[in-house]
Copies of this chain bind each other. A is one copy, B any other.
Amino acid sequence: MKDQDAKTLSNTQRAVRDLRQMILSGELAAGTDHLESELAETLGMSRTPIREAALMLESKGLLEMRPRKGVRILPVSSDDMREIYDILTELESLAAQRAAQAGYSDDELEVLAGSIAKMDQAIEAEDLEAWAEADELFHQELVRLGGNKRVEAIVAMMSDQVRRARATTLFIRPLPVKSNEDHRVVFQAISEGRPDVARERHREHRLQAQAMLCRILEKHRLNSL
């Protein structure tokens, strides 16, 4: 583990991984500025790999490099949320459609089925953290089954941008019972090889989730996360 860390990964790669983690966890809070030299010292390396890592994270939309002002951790506004969910809706629906077209066997759909089971258990136990984790797995696996690497990359990027917000939104949203039903329907459509149904049902699911999220963000006046 530590070997992997020191031996096979370059400092730049470690910096990408660690900075990303620090941003997602909130250790580097949204809206805060950080000098390259500070980050370098924190991660125990020189400015060079820090700059390279920051460049990559900038193109992933997690931060912004502003000359003399340091690296700024980008906040996510409710407008940003709308943009991101619009994209996730389209691309995940496409993935659902393609997954249904691919004609996967039950074996190949095991992970997807498992994620739904986990969500059910989590709801039973009213464990929101566990539910969110399983939900993430479902969406990630769905996109993987879609078989489009670029869609996978884009969805991962968008997910990263909103992940930080989840900590806030997770506990002010209603218990996601309906969500699980939706997942089951989508799963069935994929399993039965019905692309149009998979696509449309997943699209509906996403649109509703988005509307719900926007409502609660507005209600709680959460404009920047």
A150 near B84 with CB under 8 A, answer: yes
User: Which residues of chain B come closer than 8 Å to A52, judged between CB atoms?
Assistant: 51-52, 55
Chain A interface, DSSP helix/strand/loop, else mixed = helix
Tell me which residues from 48 to 71 in chain A have a Cβ below 8 Å from any Cβ of chain B.
51-52, 55-56, 59-61
A9 to chain B, nearest CB (A): 12
Inter-subunit contact A150/B60 (CB<8 Å): no
Q: Which residues of B contact A61 (CB under 8 A)?
A: 150
**Beyond the given A87-B151, A154-B154, could you list 9 further A-B residue pairs with CB under 8 A, ordered by the A residue number?**
A52-B55, A55-B56, A61-B150, A84-B150, A86-B94, A86-B98, A87-B91, A87-B148, A87-B154
Question: Which A residues lie at the B interface, using CB under 8 A?
Answer: 51-52, 55-56, 59-61, 83-84, 86-87, 90-91, 93-94, 98, 148-151, 154, 158
A-B contact pairs, 22 of them (CB 8 A): A51-B52, A52-B52, A52-B55, A55-B55, A55-B56, A56-B59, A59-B59, A59-B60, A61-B150, A83-B148, A83-B150, A83-B151, A86-B94, A86-B98, A86-B151, A87-B91, A87-B94, A87-B154, A90-B93, A90-B94, A91-B91, A154-B154
